[in-house]
Structure 1
Amino acid sequence: MARPGLCRAASARRRAGRSPPQHLAGDAQAPACGRRGGQGRGRRNRRLPVPSGTRSARALSRAAAARQPPLLDSDPRVGQAWVGPRLRSRQRRDKVNGVWFSWLRGACLCLALLASAAQAREFRVDLIQFDPWAKKNPDPDAAEPYVGIVVDLLKEFERRSGHRTIKTLTPYARVERDLEVGDCDFSIMAWGEARAAYANRGTAFVPLEFGVRARKGVRVRSYEDLKKIIVGAPRGLKVDPRFDADPEIRKDLVLDYTLAIRKAVADRDAMAVAGSLSTLGHIIHKLKLEAEFGDVLVLNTTHLTVAFSKKSSQIGAEAQVNAVFKTMVDDGTARRIYERWMFPPD
């Protein structure tokens, strides 16, 4: 049988019109390429079939590799000297990827902390100096200088928002002035429509009734009865638009509720006290003076709200502040704080 390589070479020379090389010219036994006995067009040579049960060395090598299970990272043989180069390469790649992942995670954490610090704000807040809304901490060794309803609301606000508040204990009349000129960013107090000229009404926490509580023996059943007596009230307090502007009602304006209550009980000028009825009830109960008071007249119902100064330098954050306080109203936190201070257990 002629060798296939020689047949192809001879065919190429015949097509080119060249004679075969000398060492093949006399080979009479070599048949023409692809032809049986040099005559006619015969079938091309085929590879001899491999006997059944016989496998090449390459096939045997592939089969052995397929039967070998891959090494896992937890395999104790990993890292030994005999481990193949492919596995060592994978180990190096995994190590580099782990280092990069750790670095990237640390960088993301740092960026998150920096972004949080950059977004945190500082708000100036006036605390109305009324018990139980805000007062000095009776414990001189306590870390918190002030306690009360508004103080706890602000602490929860800081916890939820990440912002910080600078708290200033301020008489009621001064709070109104600070809101008007922008010396404080916001306060939390009973809303009065007169305040709308210099402050925006924000989140409402709880409803509050305002009216008059008279000393026992003093008749106060209608608004007209107020014109017959002197009514004590904290200076600057907004009780009711009609009451506040009525010149026929004589008012004894004092520093706070406690002083107004004591003067009414002592029959010094005032015979009744006007203001937030829940606050009056809290202080009267605390002073153990319930037996000294009688008639109650409700004049107005409003809400404890956020009052945000229109001249605040932080006016752009007003919506965000109100949104945080709104979450406290929605989950009942605001009411629980209010009731814990306003109606403490005996």
Structure 2
Amino acid sequence: MSRFPGIALLVALLLGEQAVAEHLRLTGDSWPPFTDQRLPNNGLAADLVSTALQRAGHTTEYVEVPWARVLRGLQQGDYDVIVAAWYSAERTQFGLFSDPYLVNRIRFLRRAGMPIEYSGLDSLQPHSIAVVRGYSYDAAFDAAQGLSKVPVLEFAMGARMLAAGRVQLTLEDELVAQYHLNRDLREVRDAVEFVEVPLSENGLHILVRRSHPLHQQIVREFNANIAAMRADGGYRRIFQRHGLASGD
């Protein structure tokens, strides 16, 4: 008998129909600590997503490819679920978003000691900003005209350009930036610092391809099981497994 019968009933009521189990091909790019094949269970986000979907009865596999291939592969049917995606209207044309299951706090970084502050998009106009090609940071920022955006392939490249004085700002999720600065970017860690005011706080979602015949069911099941995991402690335990004290 389940230790949490009320949660099991809640999941059943939320789903509201006989579920069909599928083998789901999950995908993401290398974005530690959220997704990375070198991390336990492919990273925090992949761990949360695969656990929620497996609780719904599905089997899963995770494939890691560059971000451009993640998006293209979902549209072409090579993959079923992107495990970590920020909302954008363009992506709703080919995918169905879940409710957010994590929150990313997007912050700018500047060279240490530089008097650059963020107080709205107008405050960015004098500065060059390294941005990862194809990423959606914030709808207003992404669409803003008149900003000097310098495309880069990954955050590490932007951080090194920042430390070398080739750009004046870059930006990334706070936990992602800290992860890299404490590991592969240790040589520039003391040369850069966070700007205090964040650009945005973005919900992190799964994105299920609309061409999958069960895309609506998969999203309902995922939402319901994340809610159940929050209630029974499974969500928090996954955060602890990845070195975070609490996931709520």
- When normalised by structure 1's length, the TM-score is 0.56
Aligned to 2:127: 229
Structure 2 counterpart SS, 1:303: strand
What residue identity is the alignment partner of 1:284?
A: L
Structure 2 counterpart SS, 1:175: helix
- Aligned match for 2:155, one of 248, 252, 257: 257
1:285 partnered with 2:186: no
Higher relative contact order (CA 8 A, sep 6+): 2
1:274 partnered with 2:178: no
Q: Within 5 A, what are the aligned runs for 1:23-172? A: 119-137=20-38, 147-157=42-52, 159-172=54-67
Instruction: Please tell me whether Structure 1 or Structure 2 has the larger radius of gyration of its CA atoms.
Output: 1
- Aligned match for 2:217, one of 298, 317, 320: 317
Structure 1 counterpart SS, 2:82: strand
Displacement of 1:244: 0.7
What residue identity is the alignment partner of 1:193?
A: S
What residue identity is the alignment partner of 1:250?
A: S
Q: Within 5 A, what are the aligned runs for 1:171-250? A: 171-194=66-89, 195-218=91-114, 219-222=116-119, 223-250=121-148
Displacement of 1:237: 0.9
Q: Is the 8 A contact 2:29 2:64 kept in 1?
A: yes
Aligned to 1:307: 207
User: Separation in 1 of the partners of 2:84 and 2:239?
Assistant: 12
Structure 2 counterpart SS, 1:204: coil
Q: 1:299-345 CA deviation, whole Å, 9 max, x = no partner?
A: 2222122222222243253222332333223334334434653759x
Unaligned runs of 5+ in 1: 1-117, 139-143
User: Separation in 2 of the partners of 1:322 and 1:119?
Assistant: 16
Q: Is the 8 A contact 1:203 1:325 kept in 2?
A: no
Structure 1 counterpart SS, 2:177: helix
Q: 1:193-237 CA deviation, whole Å, 9 max, x = no partner?
A: 333333222132222222322222331332323221221122211
What residue identity is the alignment partner of 2:97?
A: R
Q: 1:261 to 1:309 in 2, by over 3 A?
A: same
Unaligned runs of 5+ in 2: 1-18
Structure 2 counterpart SS, 1:136: coil
Structure 2 counterpart SS, 1:168: strand
Q: 1:136 to 1:243 in 2, by over 3 A?
A: same
What residue identity is the alignment partner of 1:211?
A: R
Displacement of 1:123: 0.7
What residue identity is the alignment partner of 2:192?
A: F
Q: Is the 8 A contact 2:181 2:189 kept in 1?
A: yes
User: Separation in 2 of the partners of 1:135 and 1:339?
Assistant: 17
Structure 1 counterpart SS, 2:229: helix
Structure 2 counterpart SS, 1:209: strand
Q: Which one has the bigger helix percentage?
A: 1
Aligned to 1:101: none
User: Separation in 2 of the partners of 1:245 and 1:233?
Assistant: 13
User: Separation in 1 of the partners of 2:239 and 2:93?
Assistant: 27
What is the total number of aligned residue pairs between the two structures?
220
Q: Is the 8 A contact 1:185 1:312 kept in 2?
A: yes
User: Separation in 1 of the partners of 2:50 and 2:68?
Assistant: 24
Aligned to 2:14: none
Q: Is the 8 A contact 2:162 2:169 kept in 1?
A: yes
- Percent sequence identity over aligned pairs: 23
